[in-house]
Amino acid sequence: MSDNVKTRWYKDAVIYQIYPRSFCDSNGDGIGDLRGVISKLDYLKELGVDAVWMSPCYKSPNDDNGYDISDYRDIMDEFGTLDDFKEMIAGMHERGIKLVMDLVSNHSSDEHQWFKESRKSKDNPYRDYYYWRDKPNNWKSNFLGPAWKYDNEAGQYYLHLFSEKQPDLNWGNPKVRQEIIDICNYWFEMGVDGFRCDVISYISKAPGLPDGFPLNPQTGSENYILGPDFKKYIKEIDEKSWDRYDSMIVGEAIGINYKNAPEYLSEKVEGLDTAFSFEHMYCDLPAMILNRPFPLPAFKKIMSNWQQLPLDCQPTLYVENHDQPRCLPRFTGDYGSKRKEASKMICIAMMMQRGTPYIYEGQEIGMTSCPFNESDYVDIMSLNSIKTASKIPFFKDTFLKIWNRRARDNARTPMQWSAEKNAGFTTGNPWMKINPNYTQINVEEALGDPDSILHFYQKVMKFRKGNKVIISGGYRLYLPKDKDLFMYERYTDDKRYLVICNFKNKIVNLYLPDNLYFRDSKLVLSNYPDSKPHVIDGAVREYEALVYEIK
């Protein structure tokens, strides 16, 4: 492996995720677009992020908002043109911002030319690009229902682990792998700096596609999560593409956890550089559904396990993305009048850890999950789930309450730029509901307030940049069982930070643990204007976050 082109820039970078449909609409059709992104590049520069990960902007019939691609080499009509894209990437690079594209390669759209050919006949050269069978197995789709659909034209069933309009590509076919390699290289040559690889851990299926354990709620998943040829496929694409550029490759990787991470993510292993693990996103699934407090001890344990990995395994640090509800109120509970404190506390809790932090659009102004009526939902996962739940007698109303806490729609409400009509996102009719709290929570307000969440993010990112203690120092967790406080130390031989975060909307008493030794301390970051200048036992206020340098 030639490692000389890889600078591993992501090791000291903060990445901002754009969900283009909801970011900024430049032409009044109610849908965010690339020229909208271009108009906000100065904002991103000012915010101080190093790179952007953009959710898919390729041609797509939008069954799953761009995660169903019908042409991997061109831009979605609603988002603009290839020229707009070129202007956008040039504008980013001028400002020192890198661009990470979203590579959706487990499946294409059923409207992709490959699939249109594939369904024509058994001897069509594209037939083997997908999985066709006379009889389906018992696998379930991640979007509910069976994972197989009968196609009249083809006279067979095809596999779709997501929607019916997202047929799974057959990575066992070397031609498919070559297509993906060519697509990556095509975008690299246009200047992109990396890929976020969508559901990449699903690309290798067990030979023969055997039935799954029927009791697994995601029936079949043991036959395709990190399947038998996963490493081989990833190595091939790395050698022929990813590794030839100064790229960052981050896999969306259900199945990669702190235990097996070195096997997949070590710098010595060809393939992914980093991965979005799901462990911490699953730790509150029962709590979220039952409307119980966020299980902080479980969360701390998972984060801490990742922190203990060898330095050549880089964790990713994220609490939000387009598939998750907002972290407010999910992680913080009811924040009442303390939204800013809560949001800044999460910023400290995450940004002081080792890894590559991601900020999802709107997180930097403390956007929150949104109240939805049934008719407000637009996400295919929501529509399918509500449809299924409605079949259970008397369950629908309860389900709708639960779903409001879980729905991906929460993260997809348009970006709140100002208190003007439609939050300054569009002059037309927005494609989905805008969170009514935009009159208070918006970028304009945040830019004008020296004490805003946005300015706090800027400050913490500046503090983090180049800081060896944070980027590559050691990590020690204190009070692992404490339900309210997340307390950890970061250290090198000559510097130590103690991080204390109160995840609750109540005053919590801190008793310094016996195994914590220091002589002297100095407050270096906090989210209250009058935090205690030195570490002492005592009250930590609602959502208070404190970083002390200790000696």
Q: How far is the CB of 24 from Ca ion (least distance, A)?
A: 9
Based on CB atoms, which residue is closest to ligand GLC, 143 or 457?
Answer: 143
- Show the site string, 247-266: x = touches ligand GLC by CB under 6 A, - = not: -----x--------------
Q: How far is the CB of 422 from Ca ion (least distance, A)?
A: 12
Q: Which of 198, 238, 320, 409 binds ligand GLC (CB under 6 A)?
A: 198
Alpha-carbon distance 291 to 274, whole Å?
32
Q: How far is the CB of 162 from ligand GLC (least distance, A)?
A: 4
Based on CB atoms, which residue is closest to ligand GLC, 162 or 188?
Answer: 162
Buried b (16+ CB within 10 A) or exposed e, 283-320: bbeeebeeeeebbbeebbbbbbbbbebeeebbbbbbbb
Q: How far is the CB of 420 from Ca ion (least distance, A)?
A: 17
513: Cβ–Cβ under 8 A, 6 or more apart, which residues? 478, 479, 487
Based on CB atoms, which residue is closest to ligand GLC, 279 or 482?
Answer: 279
From residue 102, give the alpha-carbon distance in Å to each of 67, 92, 196, 203: 9, 16, 5, 15
DSSP of 337-391: T-HHHHHHHHHHHHHTSSSEEEEETTGGGT-------GGG---HHHHHHHHHHHT
Alpha-carbon distance 115 to 118, whole Å?
5
Which residue pairs, CB below 8 angstroms and at least 24 apart, start in 215-219? 217/140, 218/140, 218/142, 219/138, 219/139, 219/140
Q: How far is the CB of 359 from ligand GLC (least distance, A)?
A: 16
Alpha-carbon distance 359 to 30, whole Å?
24
Specify whether 198 is catalytic: yes
Specify whether 451 is catalytic: no
Tokens encoding 394: 């008397």
Binding of ligand GLC by 243 (CB under 6 A)? no
Q: Which among 33, 64, 198, 489 is annotated as catalytic?
A: 198
Q: Which partner from the list ligand GLC, Ca ion, none does 323 bind, CB cut-off 5 to 8 Å by kind?
A: ligand GLC
Helix (H, G, I), strand (E, B) or coil at 98: strand
Return the axis-axis angle of helices 174-189 and 230-240, rounded to nearest 10°: 40
Q: How far is the CB of 342 from Ca ion (least distance, A)?
A: 33
- Show the site string, 463-502: x = touches ligand GLC by CB under 6 A, - = not: ----------------------------------------
Q: How far is the CB of 251 from ligand GLC (least distance, A)?
A: 11
Element of type H or E holding 498: strand 496-502
The site that binds Ca ion (CB under 5 A) totals a number of residues, namely 5
Q: Which of 64, 78, 320, 542 binds ligand GLC (CB under 6 A)?
A: 64
Based on CB atoms, which residue is closest to ligand GLC, 322 or 464?
Answer: 322
Binding of ligand GLC by 409 (CB under 6 A)? no
From residue 69, give the alpha-carbon distance in Å to each of 63, 199, 431, 542: 9, 14, 20, 45
Q: Which of 19, 23, 67, 130 binds ligand GLC (CB under 6 A)?
A: 67
Return the axis-axis angle of helices 380-390 and 396-406, rounded to nearest 10°: 160
Q: Which residue has the tokens 């590579």?
A: 103
Q: Which partner from the list Ca ion, ligand GLC, none does 64 bind, CB cut-off 5 to 8 Å by kind?
A: ligand GLC
Based on CB atoms, which residue is closest to ligand GLC, 22 or 526?
Answer: 22
Residues 7-36 that bind Ca ion (CB under 5 A): 25, 27, 29, 31, 33
Q: Which of 49, 199, 250, 454 binds ligand GLC (CB under 6 A)?
A: 199
Q: Which of 63, 78, 323, 445 binds ligand GLC (CB under 6 A)?
A: 323
Binding of Ca ion by 39 (CB under 5 A)? no
Sheet holding 521-526, edge to edge: 474-478, 485-491, 496-502, 545-550, 521-526
Q: What type of residue is 414?
A: P
Residues lying near ligand GLC in the complex (CB under 6 A) are found at 64, 67, 104, 162, 198-199, 252, 322-323
Q: Indicate which residues carry an active-site annotation.
A: 198, 252
